């Protein structure tokens, strides 16, 4: 049985865990001090590369490699944009760290800034997290007061870092990195075509590193405790720890910090299991493909594990569903989310989300038509890979996987106009507005 | 709307100071638009035509530009909203754990459907798209206050806090 390893989450349940005094008592800011004063920027990047740290925001991109793409010999200002938008349904790990252990993010940001030669940081927090916003603003103020932000940090001449908390205003697409940059620039949260990648031309057209807040929050621990320690968790390709967000049908929902590679069964058991037989699990946030249970119980939650099972680790947001869940309904729920959140720039996504909601609603209301399933799959197929950002995948993958794995339920609905899941409530039909 | 029908607004000295400070935090003034809209929302209770005109003037862009941005985001309080906005999360992880029942109870108590405003203008009830609080569903937010594990029995007491 894989045991929880509490690093970012060790003190989060304490009162006042978010204060700088609590953080300093836990040894806070020492790792960054050491890294920034004793290592050359190149060495820091190399260290992160060797640690094998990969992004915790969803795509799992190697962090050190990403940093190395930023041009070195340039007079242009460079930026660090921290992604705390956390809007992927099922995900709530970033909220916990931002609300209750915010100084780990600031300390990690200092290491990133030193490595890449950055002096301006923006942290984008979603609008629906007012408490996180207040805590981060407070933490930044404390850090300035104690000299961990501002000028000549750690006594290093010219090591200046400014950090500003930028509050969003309700838009899932602002979690997509270039959508987030547009939003920081003061515009609609429209994603931008890549290339150019943010590392070369990002915020205000300048070289920009975009990292998830939890990716950054792990840095002080990796530098403080060493590569060997970090690599003692997880696997060769997926080293280290991950805060898994576990929700849906389990007794004790919450954030579980564990090594990468924990199985879905272990997560389920750690979260207290559930009283009814299980039917399905979403392993990596609502955009990742749904997996069938019991088939997926032994899938290891590494970057590779869910992929081999036909899905992805994504944001490590695990949503369990028991046998009462109607999969037509579940898909309808998610597609309404995606319809609402499509930014509308690209036709296949703007129209595809709308059409697919209408079709699944029709099916859920018992008015499905022969050919509806094929049309749905066609919509997904025509959107995936054909838009500016991968939002098209985010709504296309659910369509493909719910239909592929639970086709019998969709067909039965269309044939009989009724749900077939045991005890399932046809909520969609009852509440289609 | 013509300029005459929009009453002219000004920021309070304190808000003005905050705005000036923000201008120093970004290399371009335009980037201050989202935070400025939060200031305006706080100062005037919501963002209306006059508020957008004020933002346009302070940033130095057209009111249409501001409107285009405001309309992209769902979380700013608008003049069409009630005094308090209730956001009830209904996305899948919450739906699995009682979000529908909470939404139904709110609709019954307030006498409106999701997406509507009560007749007295006190509340707007809105469906939230994931509040990143899937571990505490059913959950809701009233303006900046977050409520976890909300039961129907608690609703009267909670709603009474919002006069
Ligand atoms: C539609 C969409 C939504 C996303 N939402 C988030 C998010 O809320 N938070 C996040 O960190 N990354 C999100 N991402 C991934 C980011 O684009 C980006 O890969 C990530 O922030 C990079 O940080 P990392 O390398 O540290 O993981 C999203 C991507 C897409 C396509």
Classify B90 as helix, strand or coil.
coil
Contacts of A186 in chain B (CB under 8 A): 28, 30-34, 59, 69
Length of chain A: 433
A327 CA distance to ligand 1 centroid (A)? 26
Q: Which secondary structure element, helix H or strand E, spans residue B54, and what is its range? A: helix B49-59
Rounded to 5 degrees, φ, ψ at A114 are -65, -40
* Interchain contact, A186 vs B30, CB within 8 Å: yes
Q: B75–A127: do the CB atoms touch at under 8 Å?
A: yes
pLDDT of residue A431: 40
* A295: CB partners within 8 A, 6+ apart: none
User: Which strands sit side by side in the sheet containing B145-147, from one edge to the other?
Assistant: B123-128, B84-89, B140-142, B145-147
Which tokens is A407 given?
A: 């086709």
* Residue A178 tokens, joined: 């270039």
CB A90 to CB B134 under 8 A?
yes
Atom index in ligand 1 nearest the CA of residue A83 equals 11
Exposed, middle or buried: residue A378 (CB in 10 Å: 0-12, 13-18, 19+)?
Answer: middle
Closest CA to A186 of B63, B40, B15, B35: B35
Residue nearest ligand 1's atom 13 by CA: A175
* Residue with CA closest to ligand 1 atom 2: A176
- pLDDT for B59-79, tens place per residue? 999 999 999 999 999 999 999
- The residues, ordered by sequence, that sit 6+ positions from B21 with a Cβ below 8 Å of its Cβ are none
Query: How confident is the model over A140-164, as pLDDT tens digits?
Result: 999 999 999 999 999 999 999 999 9
> What distance in Å separates the CA atoms of residue A32 and residue A25, rounded to the nearest whole number?
15
Domains and CATH numbers, chain B: 13-72 (1.10.10), 84-160 (3.40.30.10)
Q: Do B28 and A325 touch (CB under 8 A)?
A: no
Our mutation pick for probing the ligand 1 site, out of A80, A174, A212, counting the most ligand atoms within 8 A of Cβ, is A212
Q: Which residue of A has its CA nearest to B25?
A: A164
The shortest CB-CB distance from A164 to any of B25, B131, B144 is to B25
Six-digit token string for B94: 């919450």
Nearest-5° angle of CA B88, CA B104, CA A290?
Answer: 60
- CB-CB: which of A92, A164, A340 is closest to B135? A92
A327-431 sits in which CATH class?
Answer: mainly alpha
Interface test with B, best of A92, A136, A150, A169 (most B CBs within 10 A): A169
What does the pLDDT look like over A159-171, one tens digit per residue? Answer: 999 999 999 999 9
CA distance to A333, A367, A372, A396, per residue, from A378 (Å): 20, 19, 10, 10
The pLDDT value recorded for residue B5 is 56
Alpha carbons A284 and A237: distance in angstroms, whole number: 18
Task: Name which of B59, B135, B144 is nearest A253 (Cβ-Cβ).
Answer: B135
Q: Do B34 and A183 touch (CB under 8 A)?
A: yes
DSSP letter assigned to residue A156: -
- Which positions of chain A have pLDDT values less than 70? 418-433
* Interchain proximity B74–A170, CB inside 8 Å: yes
Task: Give the tens place of pLDDT for each residue, A235-269.
Answer: 999 999 999 999 999 999 999 999 999 999 999 99
CB atoms within 10 A of CB A109: 28
Q: Which residue is it, tokens 């976890």?
A: B148
The closest alpha carbon to B111, from B69, B139, B82, B78, belongs to B82
Strand partners, B142: B86, B145
CA distance A305 to A31: 32
How many residues in chain B?
163
Q: What is the CATH number of domain A20-231?
A: 3.40.50.11540
CB contact B23 to A (< 8 Å) = no
Q: Of A389, A285, A314, A313, which Cα lies nearest the Cα of A346?
A: A389
State the virtual CA torsion across A7, A13, A18, A23 in degrees, nearest 10.
Answer: -40
Question: By alpha-carbon position, which residue is closest to atom 29 of ligand 1?
Answer: A176
- Mutation site for A-interface testing, chosen from B37, B76, B134 by largest number of A Cβ within 10 Å: B134
Pick the CATH number of A241-322 from 2.30.180.10, 3.30.420.40, 3.10.20.600, 3.30.565.10: 3.10.20.600
Q: What is the ipTM of this complex?
A: 0.95
Nearest CA in chain A to B92: A333
- The pLDDT value recorded for residue A429 is 38
Residue B119, Cβ density class (10 Å: 0-12 exposed, 13-18 middle, ≥19 buried): exposed
- Chain A to chain B Cβ contacts (< 8 Å): 144
Atom of ligand 1 nearest to the CA of A172: 3
CA-wise closest residue to A338 among A386, A374, A285: A285
B-chain residues near A205 (CB < 8 A): none
Domains of chain A by residue range = 20-231, 241-322, 327-431
Considering only alpha carbons, which residue of chain A is nearest residue B94?
Answer: A248
* Residue B1, pLDDT score: 47
Find the residues whose C-beta lies inside 6 A of ligand 1.
Answer: A 55-59, 61, 83, 85-88, 173, 175-177, 210-212, 215, 389-391, 394
Angstrom distances, CA of residue A107 to CA of A103, A113, A165: 6, 10, 15
Structure confidence at residue A421 (pLDDT): 57
Give me the phi and psi of A102, to 5 degrees please: -70, -25
Contact between A256 and A271 under an 8 Å Cβ cutoff? The reply is yes
Among residues B65, B22, B14, which one has the least CA distance to residue B42?
A: B14
Q: How far is the CA of A340 from the centre of ligand 1 (A)?
A: 18
Nearest CB among A86, A169, A187 relative to B132 is that of A86
Contacts of A79 in chain B (CB under 8 A): none
Could you tell me the pLDDT band of residue B6, with boundaries at 50, 70 and 90?
low
């Amino acid at each position: 049985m894989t045991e929880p390893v509490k690093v970012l989450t060790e003190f989060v349940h304490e009162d006042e865990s978010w204060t700088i005094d609590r953080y300093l008592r836990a040894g806070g800011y020492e790792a960054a001090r050491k890294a920034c004063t004793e290592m050359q920027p190149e060495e820091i990047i190399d260290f992160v590369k060797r640690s094998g740290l990969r992004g915790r925001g969803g795509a799992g991109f190697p962090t050190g490699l990403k940093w190395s793409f930023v041009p070195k010999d340039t007079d242009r200002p460079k930026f660090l944009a921290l992604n705390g938008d956390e809007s992927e349904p099922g995900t709530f790990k970033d909220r916990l760290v931002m609300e209750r252990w915010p100084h780990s993010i600031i300390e990690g940001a200092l290491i990133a800034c030193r490595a890449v030669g950055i002096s301006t940081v923006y942290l984008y927090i979603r609008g629906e997290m007012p408490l996180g916003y207040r805590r981060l603003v407070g933490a930044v103020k404390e850090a300035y007061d104690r000299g961990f932000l501002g000028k000549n940090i750690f006594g290093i001449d010219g090591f200046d870092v400014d950090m500003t908390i930028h509050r969003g205003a309700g838009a899932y697409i602002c979690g997509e990195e270039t959508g987030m940059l547009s939003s920081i620039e003061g515009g609609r949260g429209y994603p931008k075509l890549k290339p150019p990648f943010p590392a070369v031309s990002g915020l205000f057209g300048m070289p920009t590193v975009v990292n998830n807040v939890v990716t950054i929050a792990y840095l002080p621990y990796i530098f403080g405790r060493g590569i060997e320690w970090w690599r003692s968790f997880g696997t060769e390709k997926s080293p280290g720890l991950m805060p898994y967000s576990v929700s849906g049908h389990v007794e004790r929902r919450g954030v579980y910090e564990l090594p990468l590679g924990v199985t879905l069964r272990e997560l389920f058991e750690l979260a207290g299991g559930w009283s009814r037989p299980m039917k399905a699990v979403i392993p990596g946030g609502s955009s990742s493909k749904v997996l069938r249970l019991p088939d997926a119980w032994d899938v290891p939650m590494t970057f590779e594990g869910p992929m081999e099972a036909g899905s992805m680790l994504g944001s490590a947001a695990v949503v369990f569903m028991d046998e009462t869940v109607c999969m037509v309904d579940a898909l309808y729920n998610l597609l309404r989310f995606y319809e609402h959140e499509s930014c509308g720039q690209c036709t296949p996504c703007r129209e595809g989300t709308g059409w697919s909601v209408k079709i699944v609603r029709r099916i859920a209301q018992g008015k499905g038509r022969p050919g509806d399933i094929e049309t749905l799959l066609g919509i997904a197929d025509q959107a995936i890979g054909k838009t500016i950002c991968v939002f098209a995948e985010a709504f296309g993958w659910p369509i493909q996987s719910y239909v592929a794995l639970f086709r019998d339920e969709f067909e039965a609905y269309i044939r009989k106009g009724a749900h077939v899941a045991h005890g399932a409530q046809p909520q969609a039909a009852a509440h289609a507005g | 709307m013509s300029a005459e029908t929009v009453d002219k607004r000004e920021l309070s000295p304190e808000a003005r100071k905050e705005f000036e400070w923000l201008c120093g935090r970004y290399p371009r003034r335009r980037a201050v638009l989202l935070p400025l809209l939060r200031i305006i929302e706080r100062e005037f209770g919501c963002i209306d035509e006059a508020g957008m005109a004020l933002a346009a003037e302070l940033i130095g862009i057209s009111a249409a530009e501001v409107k285009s941005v405001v309309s992209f985001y769902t979380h700013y309080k608008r003049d069409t909203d009630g005094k308090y906005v209730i956001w009830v999360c209904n996305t899948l992880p919450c739906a699995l754990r009682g979000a529908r029942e909470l939404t139904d109870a709110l609709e019954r108590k307030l006498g409106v459907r999701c997406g509507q405003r009560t007749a007295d203008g006190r509340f707007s009830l809105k469906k939230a798209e994931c509040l990143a609080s899937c571990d505490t569903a059913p959950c809701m937010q009233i303006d900046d206050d977050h409520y976890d594990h909300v039961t129907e029995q608690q609703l009267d007491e909670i709603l009474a806090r919002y006069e």
